[in-house]
Each structure stands twice: as C-alpha cells, then as structure tokens.
C-alpha cells in the first residue's frame, strides 16, 4: 500500500492510491496529564482547544511545519495509519511519502522519517512541500520550462521556482495561516481590550478576511472576554479591520516572493511571466491574495483548483511515480 501524507501545522491530510484524499483532520492531539494517554486526535481534539479540564491538554505537535513534539507526532501518525487501514492490520506495512518544508534541517528531516517508521511505515520518503504542491496541482514540472509555486500553509509559506522536476530557487518563511490568526487576535486585544480564542480568530479570517480592501465591506460579530471588566462581550469586526490586522504577515510573504523572483535565472523568469504563478495551500484562499500578489509583482497569479489538497495529492503521486522523482526527494540521512 502507498500512502502520501501532508503533515501540516494546521491539518494532516492523507492520500491513498486509487482513492484520493481519504483523511483531512486538524493536527491536534489531546493528552491526559495523569498518565500521558492520548485521549483524542484530529477534529475531536481540536474541539477541545481552550475548553479542556485541567488534566487534559490539547497540543499541536507540529510547529512552523516541523515536529515540535516527537512522541505526540508519532502517536498522531500511528492514529492516521490505523484510520486509513480502518482498524485492519496492514497485510504489508505501507510505504509512506511525507511532505516537509524546503527550509528544514537534517535533524528535523530525520525526526519526521523516524516518527513515520515507528508509527508503522515500512519505508518513509520525504518530499519538499513546493514540489509536492506542484505535482498535486498538475503543473507540468518535468520539462525545462520554469514554474513558480507559492504554497501557503498553516505554519509556513513555501515559494519555489521548479524546472526539470527539481527546485531551482526557493524560500521558506515561517509565516502562514496561523500567523494571520495571531495578528487578528492581537489587533482585537489592542483595539477593543477583548480576548478571543484561536478558533474565533480563524473564523473571523475565513468569514471576512481579505488581503485588499473590499468594495462592499463585510462584518462579523465576535465574542470574547473583556480584559477590563472580565466579562463576556460581543463586538462587530469589519473586513477593513482584518485587512489592517494581517498587513505585517502579508508583507513578510510578499518579501519572500520578491526575494525568489530576484534570484530566479532570466530564462526561467521569462517562463514565469508567460505562465504566471500558482498558489496552493489553505492560506491562498484568503480573499484577493492572488490579486494582491499580481499587483505587487506584475506577474499574473492564480489559485490552484484543489488548493487545500494539492500537497497531499502530490505526495501520493510522487510515491506512485517514485523512479521518476527519486532524485528530487529529500535525503534524511
């Protein structure tokens, strides 16, 4: 059995050959403090964030695209493999392909591979996220023509120029959807003295967030705790305020895109001008993000059809066509 895993900071997605993406769960594990037992994984554990009793902790074991808690990541991978097997023991242990950010260290790579092997994989291969995103978005990367991918995940944003099935120039910044949520939380706290939770901030971003001011502003009611009175309070937040709140993380991603374009060889630059840039990842679904990048760079930018699943699909396809992509894979030794 061949399984592709997008081991993301916010979500873990699993692709199985012939079935497509079979699992999409938040990368959250709930642990019992009393005996270090795993209480819940995925959506069930995410529901517990900010709501757990004292003896239960909801943890995100992945931080900025890399393993922050090795033991819990291993438990999460084991749960995922068991879910995919639907409780059956694998007749043969599966081969697994896992995506990693392009800027990770050899220690971080080894941690991901070891966690997969301990969780029950027969062999584990690593592929860089932008390459997986390109494969999953059906970008023709095997030829000598240049393609530019911008993958904006929960913990990292990966920007890469790809040609001949390999990354030519890349940049990885530890800024993504989670940093947008953080910026919204801080903005509301500063401006309104209101404390809101991570899930509320994410909801605000999805419902009214935009990279550019909207012609018809949107607004949403936000519930939180008043920091002065200590009591619950509800306030309206507009899309213009969210645009202002997320400006700094947006600028960091734009700077990384510019940096990659500056380093791109001229021949490949001309290909990118012709084809445009492809955006993938959950963060790329923010309203007007593609329009903003087009305005800033002067290069057309469009969001891939399956932006959320492209990395997971790409890991699975790369594993199916392993001989073709073997030289492009990441070595974890």
Q: Which residues, in sequence order, are CB contacts of 241 under 8 Å at separation 6+?
A: 187, 191
Query: What confidence tens digit (pLDDT) does each residue in 27-39 have?
Result: 988 888 888 888 8
Please give the model's pTM, rounded to 2 decimal places.
0.90
Q: How far is CA 64 from the centre of its chain?
A: 9
Q: With beta carbons less than 8 A apart as the criterion, state whether 7 and 101 touch.
A: no
Q: What residues does 233 pair with on adjacent strands?
A: 224
As a whole number, mean pLDDT of residues 95-114 equals 88
CB-side neighbour CA atoms (13 Å) of 86: 2
Q: How far apart are CA 314 and CA 14, in angstroms?
A: 11
Q: Which residues, in sequence order, are CB contacts of 221 under 8 Å at separation 6+?
A: 234, 235, 236, 237
Residue closest to 246 by CA, chosen among 195, 177, 308: 177
Q: How far apart are CA 299 and CA 292, in angstroms?
A: 10
Fold classification of 2-28+62-131+311-328 is Nucleotidyltransferase; domain 5 (3.30.420)
CATH no., domain 145-175+252-305: 3.30.420.40
According to the model, what pLDDT value does residue 293 have? 96
Give the residue extent of every domain in the chain: 2-28+62-131+311-328, 145-175+252-305, 177-245
Q: How far apart are CA 292 and CA 283, in angstroms?
A: 13
According to the model, what pLDDT value does residue 229 have? 94
- What is the residue-wise DSSP string for 222-272? EEEEETTT-SEEEEEEEHHHHHHHTHHHHHHHHHHHHHHHHHS-HHHHHHH
Confidence of residue 149 (pLDDT cuts 50, 70, 90): very high
According to the model, what pLDDT value does residue 55 have? 82
Residue closest to 172 by CA, chosen among 113, 138, 128: 128
**Average pLDDT, rounded, for the chain:** 91
Is residue 103 pLDDT above 80, yes or no? no
Query: What confidence tens digit (pLDDT) does each residue in 311-322 have?
Result: 999 999 999 998
Q: What residues does 99 pair with on adjacent strands?
A: 127
CATH no., domain 177-245: 3.90.640.10
Domains 2-28+62-131+311-328 and 145-175+252-305 share a fold: yes
Secondary structure E strands in the chain = 2-7, 11-16, 20-26, 29-32, 37-41, 56-59, 62-63, 66-67, 95-100, 123-128, 147-152, 157-163, 166-173, 194-195, 219-226, 232-238, 277-280, 301-303
Question: What token pair was written down for 290?
Answer: 């593609």
Query: What confidence tens digit (pLDDT) does each residue in 17-69 have?
Result: 888 999 999 998 888 888 888 888 888 888 887 777 778 888 888 887 788 88
Residue with tokens 């990966």: 158
Q: What residues does 3 pair with on adjacent strands?
A: 16, 96
Confidence of residue 333 (pLDDT cuts 50, 70, 90): low
Q: How far apart are CA 67 and CA 85, in angstroms?
A: 24
Q: With beta carbons less than 8 A apart as the criterion, state whether 56 and 32 touch.
A: yes
Q: Where are the alpha helices (DSSP H) in 98-224?
A: 106-118, 129-136, 177-192, 198-208
Q: Tally Cβ neighbours within 10 Å of residue 323.
A: 6
According to the model, what pLDDT value does residue 161 have? 96
């Amino acid at each position: 059995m061949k399984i592709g895993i997008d081991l993301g900071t916010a979500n873990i997605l699993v692709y199985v050959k012939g079935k497509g993406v079979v699992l999409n769960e938040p990368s959250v594990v709930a642990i019992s403090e009393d005996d270090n037992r795993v209480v819940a994984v995925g959506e069930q554990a995410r529901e517990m964030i900010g709501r757990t009793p004292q003896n239960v902790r909801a943890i995100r074991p992945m931080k900025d695209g890399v393993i922050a808690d090795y033991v819990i990541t291993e438990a999460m991978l084991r749960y995922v493999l068991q879910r995919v097997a639907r409780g059956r023991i694998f007749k043969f242990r599966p081969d697994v392909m896992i995506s990693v950010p392009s800027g990770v260290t050899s220690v971080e790579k080894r941690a991901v591979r070891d966690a997969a092997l301990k969780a029950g994989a027969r062999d584990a291969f690593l592929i860089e996220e932008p390459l997986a995103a390109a494969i999953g978005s059906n970008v023709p990367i095997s030829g000598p023509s240049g393609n530019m991918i911008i993958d904006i995940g929960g913990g990292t944003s990966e920007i890469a120029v790809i040609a001949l099935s390999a990354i030519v120039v890349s940049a990885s910044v530890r800024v993504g959807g989670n940093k947008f949520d953080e910026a919204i939380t801080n903005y509301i706290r500063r401006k309104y003295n209101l404390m809101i939770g991570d899930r509320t901030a994410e909801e605000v971003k999805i419902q009214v967030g935009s990279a550019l001011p909207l012609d018809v502003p949107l607004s949403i009611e936000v519930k939180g705790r008043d920091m002065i009175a200590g009591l619950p309070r509800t306030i309206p937040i507009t899309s213009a305020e969210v645009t202002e709140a997320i400006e700094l993380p947006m600028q960091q991603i734009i700077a990384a895109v510019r940096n990659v374009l500056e380093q791109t060889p001229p021949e490949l630059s001309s290909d990118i001008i012709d084809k445009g840039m492809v955006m993938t990842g959950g963060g790329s679904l923010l309203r007007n993000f593609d329009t903003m990048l087009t305005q800033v760079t002067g290069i057309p930018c469009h969001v891939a059809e399956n932006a959320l699943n492209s990395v997971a699909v790409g890991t699975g396809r790369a594993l199916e066509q392993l001989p073709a992509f073997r030289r492009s894979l990441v070595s974890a030794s």
